[in-house]
Amino acid sequence: MDERSFEEAQALTERLTRAGIEQALQVHLEAPLEYNGQRLCRDCDEALSQARLAANPNAVRCVDCQTDHDRREG
């Protein structure tokens, strides 16, 4: 393997490692928080209501925090 091929392989490995770390962090940041069997809002730590979970079983934020989150992201 010549030096250029080695450097290209090393750069690819670094990019893939960074991408893997970023993906794992994103999964962690969007994973539900639970305490004593209740799912908590990711932002305000309040328990998600049963109505919220019935409407969206994958919810990780209460309605107010999700609205704020969507506003910031969108």
| pLDDT confidence bin for 29, thresholds 50/70/90 | low
Residue 32 pLDDT > 70:
yes
Query: What phi and psi values does residue 62 have, to the nearest 5 degrees?
Result: -70, 170
| pLDDT confidence bin for 21, thresholds 50/70/90 | confident
Check: CB of residue 65 under 8 Å from CB of residue 42: yes
In this prediction, what percent of the chain has a pLDDT beyond 90?
Answer: 46
